[in-house]
Structure 1
Amino acid sequence: MEQFTIHLTIGPRTKSMFRLTYEDVLKRKLMQYDIDIKVKPKQLVHHFEIDVDIFEPQGIRKLDVQTSFLPKELAAQLIKKSFSGKKGQVLFRPTVGQQQSCPTCSTTLLDGEFKVTYDVNRDKICDLLVANNYFAHFFAPQNLTNLNKNLVFVIDISNSMEGQKVKQTKEALLKILEDVRPEDYFDLVLFGSQVQSWRGSLVPASAANLQAAQDFVRSFSLAGATNLNGGLLLGIDILNKGQRSNPELSNHAPILIMLTDGEPTEGETDRTQILKNVRSAIGGKFPLYNLGFGHNVDFSFLEVMSMENNGRAQRIYEDHDATQQLQGFYNQVATPLLVDVELQYPKDTVSELTQHSHKQYYEGSEIVVAGRIADQKLSSFKADVRAHADGREFKTTCLVDEEEMKKLLQERGHMLENHVERLWAYLTVQELLAKRMKLEGPEKAKLMAKALQMSLAYQFVTPLTSMTMRGLVDEDGLEPVIDKSTVAFVLPASQQPTGSSVPVGPITTVDSDPHFIIHVPQKEDALCFNINEEPGVVLNLVQDPNTGFSVNGQLIGDKARRPGQHEGTYFGRLGIANPVTDFQLEVTPQNITLNPGSHGPVFSWRDQASLRQDGVMMTINRKRNLVVSVEDGGTFEVVLHRVWKGSAIHQAFLGFYVLDSHRMSARTHGLLGTTHQAGRTVRMGR
């Protein structure tokens, strides 16, 4: 769940309205789409309502609502739901009396989850939407025969799993084993300091074997450290041998599921080597699903591992019903219908495709592919699907329903065109963000720059961008750059932007006709000096040899020199680089460019924006300042000094401040780095 917080002070007898407009891609799971609404008003509300309007081109097949806070009888009375054809609606408008937890109480019943679930008609094996030179392909075939599975569960039994974690894990495994079908084969692997398996090979899911496996689960105890590498390799070996040695099992869908709560601490502990070992052992033959239990798990490591092996990772929260989360995940992959799924499109007309090959397709899910098309002739556009089902080849061709598309465009017009393009952009950004986790160096920087550029262009909230809510008018009377009804990108509530343009307290700084004022704490005094250089000269301000972090500034001069006066010089360009994270930033009084060497996105000083890039947070506070925070490096501010536009002499320039330098190494040097090394600080003065 994403959580956004906003604080506002309003006067007495005044009203304030908060409007949050956002889009969210719904993913089909277990034969339905879920719309989750958290309801926590924490008080009785005189006018409370939830209205959900649904439009689906394929037509709505079912619509339901569940709440965690209303008794079934009261929910049936208060919640109105209806659907017909392409439209559905849910209404929930309780009065104050209906919200009360008891007739005389001032507390509310409304505290929990309001979940709307629905699904669409599946008359066709797939649907193609084409609009404005973009297409979206939805593939969710029905009435296919379930594939038998080869299942191996790899379970962490290190000492860190003690208490509630191991209790919930055992409960989930016992329930999952009850759901394993007799036609499936399975085994269990446990890893602590040592690695062991229940049977050492795949065995049929007979009643006797399932009972023995449940007894094994009830009886195992925790032991030692975390030999994650050894546990995974044993699980992979059991699946590989089973597929090779038994011809019957070669047509089954193999699935490997690992659950762990920590980091590798026994056996092979180098993450890069573990990834290489697992990738080599699986060899692209089956998916690996990783479940990360609790807050201490290295989840990004599990994500990369799953991604490299055609699976996905999911975090399991122990504060919630972990047993239900574990069983819910298994239910999503419990019924494979197809393997080696390939969705193919005309090569000469399609470009910039999102992921169109999948190792397995599961019952109740949906494969979505989007892309750009050069020729929008609906009659010539098609999608060919190739896969395998129970040892047989599966083939189908999807065509565009031209009459239906014309009706949709008449009904929804621009909304449908916008939706198809934004879906393509969203899927593309998600895939770029996933790929970056596997890369390093220039390739990673290039992917991140493209993901950031698209996130900003389409106004997506991503790990590189965050969300802010702003008023209708800025302090200078100008309208916001981004319309008030859309999402902008700045800091989350826990990290408020720096408000003042001139920092308070002793800080390291260089500004105006570049001069320094060095604060000497021991003497409660300051040492001032200027740098007299010509325009165009580049000064090294900060250089940390331990990390490679550096800041350089290039001087500019006045537009014209007054007769008999010294020509003023100022900083007209600043370069900030952090090689450890491939972060580069070029700042001028006109623009802020991220990773200029790889054609990264360009921001204006009129933007209000924030982004993250591997340990670096950058925040632009519109027309005021830029704050850059580097993990293990420090916090820096660039201030924009503007001058009157009609000035024939002066021009806009930059000031640079070191707000926090305690994490910089003692070897740091440069005009400002030297003051850090000497244990002194500098602040602005004239």
Structure 2
Amino acid sequence: MHSDNSIRLFWLLLCVFCALTDTTNKVLGPEVTIRELEITSKVAFRYADVVVRSLAVNTRSHAQEVTFEVKLPKEAFITSFLLVTNNKTIKAVIKEKDEAEKEYRKAKTAHVIAGHVTQQEVRDDVDIDVFEVVVNVAANADVEFRLEYEELLQRHAGKYSQKLFIESDHIIEKLQVRCEFKDKQKFKMLTYKTPFYTERVHVVYNKGMVTKNGYYFNEIEWKPSKREQENADKKLESPFEIEYELEVNKRGGMVLINEKGEFTHMFSAPCDESKIMMKQIVFVIDISGSMDGNPIEQVKEAMTSILSRLRTHDFFNIILFDDNTIMWKSTFQQATSLNVKAAKYFVEKSVKADGSTNINEALLLAVDMFDKELPADMNGNLGKIIVFLTDGSPTYGETDTTAIRRNIRARNYLNGQICCKSSINTIAFGRYADMDFLRVIAYEHEGILTIIKETESNVAGELVKIYKDIENPFYKNLVFTYQVNDQLLPRNNITQTQFLQYDCGNEIVVSGWTYPKVPIRPTVKADGAQNEIAFKSVPTVLILHDDSVILSRLVAYKRVKLLLKEAETTLYPARRETANKMALELSLKFGFVTPMTSLVVTDYSKSSTKDYIIARNGDSFKSAISNPVHILLCLYLYFLV
């Protein structure tokens, strides 16, 4: 998300100016408080719809500024925003960026209340999106904010997790978090952790209540009193965190389909230690000068823990790089206790920060390792994984990131066309890592980008957590097909049909669309540790009524994500243009704020033309009349593009 070229970060400024008084831009005082904060999350088949509502009150006799800030998961799409103040409701509308600009100019010419979205490059190391609104609240008045967003919860190491961000430096009179979870699979476990405690609170270890529609249902409600907030050891600084597990069947997951023919396949498999593949894994570690000090020591600590987690039937190697590359061994080594001990010694003695950053040479060397002849005792299918960590961008050797991408694809793609010999999982360490480049490398090679903040207190723990997510390769070369009316559904109707590798703690989510009210027959074929596996009786569940709408939005969400990914990774301009156009159409249809769309606010009410003067950010403006209400909305959205 960030880089030496700065992070691709969408700073969306929505500025709404009402007629100003002399009290604008005052410092927020204790007389302006957040009286109410309510977060309502409804999760249906892993797809979350979250509404954040906040009520701020100004008890002073003059206007005061109040800030409304919501942190969002990086994978979320905002779907709506509105505020209510002075008996007026102002609602944002999602439009294509050029249309938003035209709407803004039209409103500005008419002297009505208006605001629109712009974007800027801003460097930051936070792996979240931030929505912030600053409002000057009239004397003895209040303002209500409502923000809604949607996201698909991810499964990592067997658990789904959700973070709801709550931050306040004072007691909130009415604070409430309410979460509902329903699914067609039974719950094994559900826990939550409040901002006040470091330990998780046990909730349930049963299947969940069964609803009349055949869902397994669980809920959480947290309403800390003022006294509880006063007596808490920690303030409202950490997120409200939820984790849950679902029972996993052995039949290839589950397909959910509605009467319109839209479907989503949630594929997972239970972990069986005897069926986990042996793996070849290469750790590629940046030891350039910028890693000096605490970062390099944290990497050493993490590698010691990760090497200890290797199974004895795994094979591994380590590549260190600055201007040059240093290989621990010329070939893969089995993870015997003797070899693991030797590797730890190598890390301790050789991991020293110095020099520049030769990313191209290091990654090509790692990819080429998988072309070498396998040891005689490496039987069966193998998981093939590269873990690449850097805190910067290429500064030595080949420094053009597009050229590096082409070089790696030429080596790692089969015949230069089909992904891949090995997955490449990238780790961006700190704010100066080239997030855009690392994200695309991961996308292009069936890997995952993980961002570790400079301020992270437990970097070693985070690195070990990343490794846990990829340490159990279970299937390779997965192919998903769907048969309708005795014919295979075209690939263009499916978000993705082939996957290089599956780790048994994770989940593959495939969405698509077919004819209305027609049965679908899914099949998944894959290579297991010793033989080919075929799932031909995947359970299919019909989703009806309001839940059908949720499923439609989930399918659209997956399609937009895939199109944005395709637009970013393709090397062909025509394909990029097509993907962006399709992503825009879906974003507008379903109301998603994405890199292709903008939020715009206009108010053509009768009073607005005489009560409000509009000014864009950076323009000069003056108050036309002494109106007590001044609203300045500053909306910051940080997107992983």
Q: Judge same fold: TM > 0.5, yes or no.
A: yes
Instruction: Name the structure 2 match of 1:558.
Output: none
Q: Secondary structure at the match of 1:290?
A: strand
Task: Look up the equivalent residue of 1:361 and give its one-letter code.
Answer: Y
1:115-514 map, 5 Å? 115-123=241-249, 125=251, 126-131=253-258, 132-144=260-272, 145-220=275-350, 221-243=352-374, 246=376, 248=378, 251-283=381-413, 284-320=420-456, 321-346=458-483, 347-349=487-489, 352-378=493-519, 381-401=520-540, 405=542, 408-409=543-544, 413=545, 415-437=546-568, 438-466=570-598, 474-476=603-605, 499=615
Give secondary structure in 2 for the equivalent of 1:201.
coil
Letter in 2 for 1:426: Y
Q: Which residue of 1 aligns with 2:192?
A: 65
Alpha-carbon displacement from aligned partner over 1:317-345 (angstroms, at most 9, x marks no partner): 22113323222211110111101111111
| C-alpha RMSD of the superposition | 3.1
User: Is this contact kept in 1: 2:380–2:529, CA < 8 A?
Assistant: no
Q: Does 1:111 align with 2:237?
A: yes
Structure 2 partner of 1:51: 178
**Cα offset, 1:88, TM superposition:** 0.4
Aligned partner of 2:524: which letter?
Answer: V
Asked if 1:84 corresponds to 2:212, the answer is no
- Structure 2: where are the runs of 5+ without partners? 1-127, 211-215, 414-419, 622-634
Aligned equivalents of 1:61 and 1:81: distance in 2?
A: 5
Equivalent residue, structure 1, for 2:67: none
| Cα 1:498–1:429 shift into 2, 3 Å | farther
**Rounded Cα–Cα distance in structure 2 between residues aligned with 1:501 and 1:68:** 35
Percent identity (aligned): 27
Query: 1:473-521 CA distances to partner (integer Å, 9 max, x unpaired)?
Result: 9242599xxxxxxxxxxxxxxxxx973699659xxxxxxxxxxxxxxxx
Corresponding residue for residue 69 of structure 2: none
Pair 249,150 (structure 1): closer, same or farther in 2 beyond 3 Å: farther
| Of 436-445 and 365-374, the range deviating more from structure 2 | 436-445
Give the direction of change, closer, same or farther, for the CA distance of 1:314–1:433 in structure 2 (3 Å limit).
Answer: same
Asked if structure 2 preserves the Cα contact closer than 8 Å seen for 1:337 and 1:363, the reply is: yes
C-alpha distance in structure 2 between counterparts of 1:610 and 1:70, whole Å: 29
- More relative contact order, 1 or 2 (CA 8 Å, 6+ apart): 2
Q: Offset at 1:394? A: 0.6
Deviations 1:560-584 (A, max 9, x none): xxxxxxxxxxxxxxxxxxxxxxxxx
Structure 1: distance between partners of 2:506 and 2:582: 29
Distance 1:31 1:466, change over 3 A: farther
Structure 1 distance, partners of 2:614, 2:313, is 62
User: 1:232-252 CA distances to partner (integer Å, 9 max, x unpaired)?
Assistant: 122222232154x54625622
Following superposition, the deviation at residue 133 of structure 1 comes to: 1.7
Matches of 1:55 and 1:454, distance apart in 2: 26
Deviations 1:323-370 (A, max 9, x none): 232222111101111011111112555552101211000021111111
With normalisation by structure 1, the TM-score equals 0.64
- Where 1:326 maps in the other structure, the secondary structure is helix
- Give the aligned residue type for 1:355: Q
Aligned length: 474
Identify if the C-alpha distance between structure 1 residues 17 and 201 changes in structure 2 by more than 3 Å, giving closer, same or farther: same
In 1: Cα distance, 2:194 partner to 2:517 partner: 44
Cα distance change of structure 1 residues 477 and 238 upon mapping to structure 2, 3 Å threshold: same
The whole-number CA distance in structure 1 between the counterparts of 2:145 and 2:637 is 24
Which of these two proteins has the greater Rg computed from alpha carbons? 1
Structure 2 residue identity aligned to 1:463? P
Contact 1:261–1:293 under 8 Å retained in 2: yes
- Matches of 2:383 and 2:407, distance apart in 1: 22
The DSSP-based 3-state class of the residue aligned with 2:136 is: coil
Change (3 A) 1:299 1:184: same
